[in-house]
Amino acid sequence: MTAPLADAAEAVLAGNWTGESTVPSRHQYPHQWGWDAAYIAIGWSWIDAGRAAAEIESILRGQWPDGRVPHIVFHPGVPEGEYFPGPAFWAGGVDGVATSGLTQPPLHARAALEVSRRSDEGDAFLRRVFGRLVAQHDYLAGRRNAGGGGLAAIVHPWESGLDDSPAWDEPLAAVDLPAEGVAPYERRDRRHVAASERPSDAAYDRFVQLARVYRDGGYADDGQSAFLVEDPLFNAIWLWSTHALAEIAGLIGEDAGPYRDAAVRIHEALMTRLWDGERFLPRDLRTDRLIDRRTILSLGPLLDPQLPEEVAAALAAELESPHFRGPGGLGVASSDLLAPTFERRRYWRGPVWANLNWLLARGLRQHGLVREAADVEQTTLSLVEHAGIREYYDPVTGDGLGAEDFSWTAAAVIDILRA
């Protein structure tokens, strides 16, 4: 693949670097985000290992005493009005670092391991972050085990990272809104991106209401959230990171046993709680039923190295099917191309995302599905080359959508080209 693409990707990361960490995109998301930081650190690791380590240590600076790694660490210099909901809304944080109170997919241990491989610091970086990563995993295992079966539950669609996935339509519809209506708020997300590419107002009302209720309850993980879901992608990422934690422990002379055991437990819970015999589906803990929607979330367990071979093969076949791969062979769609909920241009309701394609390629390769992995990577690179380093892409035309100069897309490109 071409040098100009690599140069452009490096320029995006450099342009989004703030001195301490990297914003997802300058205008749309002017703070540091939870799982973005992990992808971005892996991208930086090929160019500047110091910045890669700083990226991870910056997001971990926002970690709460209970272990949660927040989904946003706010930059103090950015005015409140630049992003909604900003620091004043969340009223959260630690040691002078303002943060949100939600979390996001825990990709950080995996990123830390990858960063350490290209760092001159030897094990010193891993030693600095190990305790914090363990605390993050303990938080998920302890405070988020709402279903009691050993998986982590998310309490808000923003925690999935796939905010308005059709998988969340049903559980979101069941969220009660106040009789007098949701207290007024101002969306800021459509100043730089077309409304047709962003979630609906109805979805936003529920996002805001859920976040307010969680905040007003002191961010207590008491199992009372009106939205309470076990997400296969979130849990698969947690599992993938748990394997990384075991590896990190081994590298720095800590006991890897607890993390190996935890990985076995999460793997078994994924299989017993979210596999329906045909596909992985999110479990709605409010109804204790699986949510029967085909979305990219279901393909996430490819990241589980212990997945039985026939299950991995079923996921790979689903990924290659017309539900996820358009006739033009463009990347993997975020949700079923053939379903009535499919929307080509709207956020997580259909578009192709480079970070998810990157994750799936890693998962496929882990199961020896090398041709399939290379195909996903190559189509991702072509999309980006054709349409620019955007937040997401139309799976039918390949048009670039959402924010411009997007950091995790740049990071995915860099890792695919270099790895």
Cite the active site residues.
163, 391
Of positions 24, 86, 331, 350, contacts ligand 9WN by CB under 6 A? 24
Query: Rule CB under 6 A: is residue 43 a binding residue for ligand 9WN?
Result: no
> CA nearest 353: which of 300, 283, 419, 302?
300
Supply the minimum distance, in Å, between the C-beta of residue 308 and ligand 9WN.
29
Q: How many CB atoms within 10 Å of residue 257?
A: 10
Nearer to ligand 9WN by C-beta: 175 or 256? 175
Of positions 5, 13, 21, 36, contacts ligand 9WN by CB under 6 A? 36
Query: Rule CB under 6 A: is residue 304 a binding residue for ligand 9WN?
Result: no
Supply the minimum distance, in Å, between the C-beta of residue 152 and ligand 9WN.
17
Q: How many positions of this chain bind ligand 9WN (CB under 6 A)?
A: 10
Rounded to whole angstroms, the Cα distance separating 129 from 105 reads 17
Query: 237 with 358: CB under 8 angstroms?
Result: no
Sequence-distant (≥ 6) Cβ neighbours of residue 168 within 8 angstroms: 157, 160, 162, 227, 229
Query: 47 with 101: CB under 8 angstroms?
Result: no
Rounded to whole angstroms, the Cα distance separating 155 from 171 reads 11
Nearer to ligand 9WN by C-beta: 207 or 275? 207
Nearer to ligand 9WN by C-beta: 273 or 362? 362
Rounded to whole angstroms, the Cα distance separating 73 from 220 reads 19
Supply the minimum distance, in Å, between the C-beta of residue 16 and ligand 9WN.
11
Query: Rule CB under 6 A: is residue 158 a binding residue for ligand 9WN?
Result: yes
Angular region, 291: left φ>0, alpha ψ -120 to 50, beta rest: beta
DSSP 98: E
Nearer to ligand 9WN by C-beta: 150 or 402? 402
Of positions 9, 21, 29, 311, contacts ligand 9WN by CB under 6 A? 29
Which part of the chain contacts ligand 9WN (CB under 6 A), choosing from 32-40, 217-225, 266-274, 379-387? Answer: 32-40
Site for ligand 9WN in 59-98 (CB under 6 A): 71
* First-to-final CA distance of the chain: 13
Nearer to ligand 9WN by C-beta: 110 or 267? 110
Which part of the chain contacts ligand 9WN (CB under 6 A), choosing from 127-135, 155-163, 177-185, 223-231? Answer: 155-163
Nearer to ligand 9WN by C-beta: 163 or 377? 163
Of positions 10, 57, 114, 163, contacts ligand 9WN by CB under 6 A? 163
Sequence-distant (≥ 6) Cβ neighbours of residue 87 within 8 angstroms: 74, 80, 93, 98, 99
The two beta strands, 392-393 and 400-401, are antiparallel
DSSP 25: B
Of positions 30, 70, 87, 161, contacts ligand 9WN by CB under 6 A? 161
Query: Rule CB under 6 A: is residue 35 a binding residue for ligand 9WN?
Result: yes
The two beta strands, 289-290 and 392-393, are unpaired
Using CB under 6 A, list all residues that contact ligand 9WN: 24, 29, 33, 35-36, 71, 158, 161, 163, 189
